[in-house]
């Protein structure tokens, strides 16, 4: 499947992805970089591979994302790597992606039923940043002195990736990976309120789904029926 590769909001290239290891969620493809890649990204790739101790914080700061032709973004909890060496600058470049849900590559463009829609890169990053802002614990000086346990939101510490947006309100569907658990989906009703102003760890309201089929049956189909009835 064709894919567009981003660093933050900038397109840095494209790739034709294929499955390398279905059991491990591995995909790869010939990476076709553009000027943004050569200007802003390639030096970080070379530095990463040349370092005795790779700087994963700097690597993660590139905020790489891959969007498929079906409009959905991959969520690779195994990460991305680029095959690009300064010793062979003219050789074809490759992207490898590990730990993805392979089924997402087979989804059609109309896999989401109204009023659920795919997001673009700006929306994806925006919703992820907003969710992080809403759930990040605010530790006060007094709570540190008293050693009180923070009443954290259930998504604190989880890896997240925006999957889809519900048009009628502020519900957003995220792919979620929590330590020690299988990846899942979670619909979150964003509140646009800072964590320090929240009165309960129950907000933003979050509902989990074991996989996409579970989400379809319990949420997307009922939403679609209501949407068609009203419209």
pLDDT in tens, 119-163: 999 999 999 999 999 998 766 554 444 444 457 899 999 999 999
Whole domain around residue 145: which residue ranges? 116-230
- Tell me the pTM: 0.91
Highest mean pLDDT among 13-27, 78-92, 192-206: 13-27
Q: Among 46, 80, 106, which residue terminates a domain?
A: 106
The pLDDT value recorded for residue 176 is 96
From residue 195, alpha-carbon distances to 52, 68, 143, 157, 160 in Å are 39, 33, 15, 15, 17
Residue 111 lies in a domain: no
Residues 7 and 95 in one domain: yes
Question: Hey, which bits of the chain come out as E strands?
Answer: 2-7, 10-21, 26-33, 64-68, 79-83, 93-98, 116-117, 159-166, 171-177, 184-189, 205-209
Q: What is the DSSP letter of 148?
A: P
The whole-number pLDDT of residue 180 equals: 84
Residue 207 confidence (pLDDT) above 90: yes
Question: Do 43 and 6 share a domain, yes or no?
Answer: yes
What is the spatial distance between Cα 74 and Cα 161, in angstroms, rounded to a whole number? 8
Mean pLDDT of the chain: 91
Whether the per-residue pLDDT at 42 is higher than 50: the answer is: yes
Looking at the structure, do residues 122 and 184 belong to the same domain, yes or no?
yes
- Tally of structural domains, the chain: 2
Domain boundary at 46, 76, 106, which?
A: 106
Domain shared by 182 and 85, yes or no: no
- By residue count, the chain amounts to 231
* Per-residue pLDDT at 147: 43
Position 196 pLDDT exceeds 60: no
């Amino acid at each position: 499947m064709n894919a567009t590769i981003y660093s933050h909001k900038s397109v840095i290239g494209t790739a034709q992805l294929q499955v390398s290891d279905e059991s491990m969620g591995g995909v790869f493809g010939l990476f076709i970089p553009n000027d943004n890649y050569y200007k802003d990204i390639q030096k970080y790739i070379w530095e990463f591979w040349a370092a005795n101790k790779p700087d994963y914080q700097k690597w993660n700061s590139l905020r790489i994302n891959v969007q498929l032709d079906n409009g959905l973004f991959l969520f690779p909890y195994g990460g991305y790597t680029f095959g690009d060496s300064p010793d062979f600058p003219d050789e074809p470049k490759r992207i490898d992606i590990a730990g993805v849900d392979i089924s997402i590559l087979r989804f059609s463009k109309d896999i989401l039923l109204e009023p659920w829609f795919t997001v673009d890169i700006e929306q994806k990053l925006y919703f992820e940043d907003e969710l992080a802002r809403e759930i990040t614990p605010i530790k006060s000086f007094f709570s540190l002195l008293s050693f009180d346990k923070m009443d954290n939101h259930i998504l604190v510490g989880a890896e997240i990736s925006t999957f889809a947006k519900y048009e009628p309100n502020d519900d957003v569907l995220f792919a979620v990976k929590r330590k020690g658990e299988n990846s899942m989906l979670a619909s979150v009703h964003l509140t646009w309120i800072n964590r320090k102003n929240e009165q309960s760890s129950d907000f933003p309201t979050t509902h989990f789904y074991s996989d996409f089929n579970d989400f379809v049956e319990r949420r997307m189909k009922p939403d679609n029926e209501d949407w068609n009835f009203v419209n």
